[in-house]
Chains A and B, each alone.
Chain A
Amino acid sequence: MSVSQAIAAGDVALLPSRRDEDWRWTDLRGLIRAMPPVSPASDRQFETGAFGEGDVLLVNGVVRGDVKALVVPAGERRTVRLRVIADTSETAHGTDLSVWVGEGAELTLLETYEGLGEGYLTETRLNLTVEADARLERVVLAADTAEAVAVSTATVALSRGSRFEQTVLTTGARRQRIETQVAHPGEGATVRMDAGYLLGGQRHADLTTAVAHEGVGGETSQLTKGIVRDQARGVFQGRIVVEKGADKTDARMGHHALILSEKAEIDAKPELLIYADDVSCAHGNTVGALDEDALFYARQRGIPDAQARAMLAEAFVGEVVDRIANDKARDVARQWVAAHLGAV
C-alpha cells in the first residue's frame, strides 16, 4: 500500500491508514475522503528557489527536459539542484527519479520541495545508488503548503566505503511524510542522517527512517530535532536494524523535540532491532519545553523573553544545521531555518 499506488489507481482505499503500524501517526486514509483528479501539466517558469535556479525540475509529477535519471560518472564531482514543485491545487501526482553516484564520485544534491498551490496530494520517490567509495550529501528543504498532503520516499543503496549524508529541514504540511530507507552494507560505509522540523498552525511532519546494517563495520549517526507549537504535530520514527553477522556496527540515534504550546503534539518511536552481538547501538529521545533555567539566565541578562526564546530555539535546531558538510548549503540552510523560525 502506498500513496503512488493509490494515486495511480485513483483508489483512496489504497492509502495508508493508522491501522498500518508504520503509519500509525500519519493517517492519510482517514483524511482523504475522495481521490483528487490527476494534476495537469505545467510549463510555467518559476522564480529561483532557495538554492537558486534548478538544474533538474520535477513539476506536477513530470521531469522537465530530457532528464531520465541523475547520473554522476565514476570519479566525478557534481552539485545538482533538484526542485520538486507542486504548481497545482486539489489534484494528485506521483514522481519517480533515479540517482546514481558512480564509484569514487561525489554528489551534493540540493533538493527543494515547493508548494505553490493548496490541497495537492503527491508522492515523490527517489531511488539513490551510491557506489563504492562514492559520497552523496543530500540537503532537503521542504516547504509544502498548509493544506497539502506530501509524501517523499528515498530508497538508498550504499556500497563498500561509501558515505551518505542527509539533512532534511521541513515546515510540514496538512500531512507530510519524509521517509528514508537505507541499505547499509557495512564495510566501512558511513551514514549521517539528520532532520529538523519547525511546525506551527495545524501542520504535521513525519520523519521516518530505516537503516538496515547488513555487513560488518558499518556506522550510522542520526540526529533529529524539532519544534512544534499551536496545534502542530511532529512525528519521528527511526529504525536501526543490525542483521545477523553485521558485527562492529556502531549506530547512534537521537531525537529531541520542544513543545512550545499547550496543544501541540510529539510522537516518537526510535527502534533498535539487533541480531548481532558485537555491536554498539544507542538511542536517546527527549520531549520537553524550553529550558526554564536558560530562560531565567537570559532574562537576568536583560534579554527580552521573546528574543530569548527565539535564541534558544535557533540554537536547538542549529545543531542539526551545523552538521551539514557543504559550506554553501549550510549557509542556505541556516538562513532558511532563521526565516521559518519566525513562523514558529
Chain B
Amino acid sequence: MVAVKQTVEHVESLEAYKHGFITDIDQEFAPKGLNADIVRFISAKKDEPEWMLQWRLEAFERWLAMEEPTWAKVNFPRIDYQDAYYYAAPKTKDGPKSLDEVDPELLATYAKLGIPLKEQEVLAGVQGAPKYAVDAVFDSVSVVTTFKKELAAVGVIFCSMSEAIREHPELVKKYLGSVVPTSDNYFACLNSAVFSDGSFVYVPPGVRCPMELSTYFRINAAESGQFERTLIIVDKGAYVSYLEGCTAPMRDENQLHAAVVELVALEDAEIKYSTVQNWYPGDPKTGKGGIYNFVTKRADCRGDRSKVSWTQVETGSAVTWKYPSCVLRGNDSSGEFYSIAVTNGFQQADTGTKMIHLGANTKSRIISKGISAGKSSNTYRGLVSAHPKAKGARNFTQCDSLLIGKECAAHTVPYVEARNGQTVFEHEATTTRLSEDQLFYVMQRGLNQEEAVALLVNGFVKDVLQQLPMEFAVEAQKLVAISLEGSVG
C-alpha cells in the first residue's frame, strides 16, 4: 500500500503556513515611529555617505506631501505609519567565516525554512558547497552574502545594498532611482526614505553570470516593516538569473513590506527575475494578521535587443499590490511576465504588469494565472501601451482566472493603449471554475478531492511553472497546493 502511504504523507505535508515561526534572537531596533531622525538613524546605522542621507531625506520630504493611493481592489484598515519599527537587525558579529561563527539561532532559522542543507551551508558561507549564491536579508539587514569572491573573479558584483553604497558609490549613484524615481508612487517614495537592505548586482559587459543569484528575505521582528531595495544592472551582452524568496512569522498584526526592485538591462543584456513570494497570508479562518506586500518592481530595457523576464509565484501575503513592469526603451527589446497568483482564506491580491513599448519592434508577452479560493479576492490589473515611436510593437496577453468556492472573487482589469498604426496587441481572458467533469474523471481514478484539485490546478498553472528555474518550480508547485489547502469540501 505504498500509494496509500504516499497519500497520507502528502496530505500531512499539506499543513498550513509552515514558515510562521519566530526566531528568538537578540535584535536591535530603531525607535518606533517615522520622522527625519529615524531616516538619519537608519543612514547612520549603515554608515552611509552624506549624499545617500540627503537622497533619503529628500524622499522623506516628498513622501510627507503625498497621499496614500486607494485605487486598488483591496481593502485594509488604514496603516498607522507611526506605529512600526523601521529598522530591526540581529546583533551579530561581522562577516561569519564558517558555520560555527554564524549565530546558531540564524542557522536554525534557515534550517527550519526548509532550505536544503547544502544550500543552507552555502548560506552560512561554508566553502565547497554547490554554486548557488545567496544574499540573506533578515529584517532590515543582509546577514550574509555568499560566493562573492568567485563572482568577483568574473567581475560580477553581488552584495548587499548597504555594502554597494559604500563600495560602489559610482554605480549606485548612477542607477539608483533611475528606473523607479523617488516620487514614483507613495510606497516607492517611503521605501526611498527608509530602505534598509536588499541586494545589489552588477554584471559587466559580455559576462554570463556563472551561477544563479538569489536573495532570501525574512521578516522576523514584530511590529516592524521591511523596506528592501534591490538594484540589478546587467551591462552590454551580459546575462543573469536572479531568484527571490520571502517568508515571515505568523502574527496577529499586519506588517508592511514595501520594497523597490530596479532592473537595468543595457544593449543585448538579459535578466531573468523569479520570485516565490510566501509571506505570512494571515489566519485563513479569521483573516487576522499577515503581510501587506506593496512592492514596486520595474525593469528598464534601456539598450537595444535587451530582454527582461519576470516570473512570479504569489501565494502569500494578506494583501498583495504589485505590478512588475518592463519599460521597453531599446529598439527590439522584449519583456515577459509570467505570473501565478493564488489567494485563499481572506487574502487579497491586486497584481499584474505594465509593458510600456517605447522603442521600435519591441515585443512583450504576458501569461497570468489567477486562482482564488475561500473568501479571497484576486485581481489581474495590467497595462500594455505603445507610444507613437514604438512602430512594430507586439504584445500577446493571456489572463486566466480560476474560482474555487462560492465566496471568492476574481477580476481582470487590463488597460490597452495603442498609439501608432503599426501595433499588434492581442489580449484574451477567461474566468471559470474547476471543471466538474475533469474533477470527476480524476477522482474516479482514485484521487481524493484535494489531490484532484491540486492536480488540475497544477495543469492550469503549468505554462508559468515551466518558466521557473528547476528548484523553484518544484517548490512553487508544492506551495500552490499548500496554499489551496482547505479550499474544497
Which residues of A does B touch, CB under 8 Å? 21, 244-245, 257, 259-289
Contact = CB atoms under 8 A, between A and B. Distances in A.
Contacts of B174: none
A25 to B, nearest CB: 8
A283 B429 contact: yes
A286 B414 CA distance: 12
Contact of B412 (A257, A259, A283, A288): A283
Contacts of A288: 423-426
B430 A259 contact: no
Contacts of B406: 244-245, 276-277
Contacts of A271: 411-414
Given A269-B413, A272-B411, A289-B421, A282 B429 contact: yes
B91 interface: no
Given A259-B423, A277-B405, 16 more contacts: A259-B421, A263-B388, A265-B419, A267-B416, A267-B417, A268-B417, A269-B413, A271-B412, A273-B411, A279-B403, A279-B433, A281-B430, A282-B428, A282-B429, A285-B427, A287-B416
Given A281-B432, A288-B424, A269 B388 contact: no
Given A269-B414, A279-B432, A281-B432, A274 B403 contact: yes
B409 interface: yes
B136 to A, nearest CB: 40
Given A266-B416, A266-B418, A274 B427 contact: no
B404 interface: yes
Contacts, number: 114
Per DSSP, are chain A's interface residues mostly helix, strand or loop, or mixed? strand
B401 interface: yes
Interface in B383-408: 388, 401, 403-408
Per DSSP, are chain B's interface residues mostly helix, strand or loop, or mixed? strand
B486 to A, nearest CB: 16
B378 to A, nearest CB: 10
A269 B425 CA distance: 13
B415 interface: yes
A285 B425 CA distance: 8
A277 to B, nearest CB: 4
29 contacts: A245-B406, A257-B418, A260-B421, A263-B420, A265-B419, A266-B417, A267-B415, A267-B418, A269-B413, A269-B415, A271-B412, A273-B411, A274-B411, A277-B433, A279-B433, A280-B431, A280-B432, A282-B428, A282-B430, A283-B412, A285-B416, A285-B428, A286-B424, A287-B416, A287-B424, A288-B425, A288-B426, A289-B423, A289-B424
A30 B205 CA distance: 47
B431 A272 contact: yes
B71 interface: yes
A245 B424 CA distance: 38
B119 to A, nearest CB: 39
B414 A285 contact: yes
Contacts of A269: 413-416
A335 B423 CA distance: 30
Nearest to B373: A277
B188 interface: no
A218 to B, nearest CB: 15
A275 B401 CA distance: 12
B185 interface: no
Contacts of B421: 259-264, 289
A270 B427 contact: yes
Nearest to A269: B415
A272 B73 CA distance: 13
Given A275-B409, A277-B408, A285-B425, A265 B431 contact: no
A287 B431 contact: no
B418 A265 contact: yes
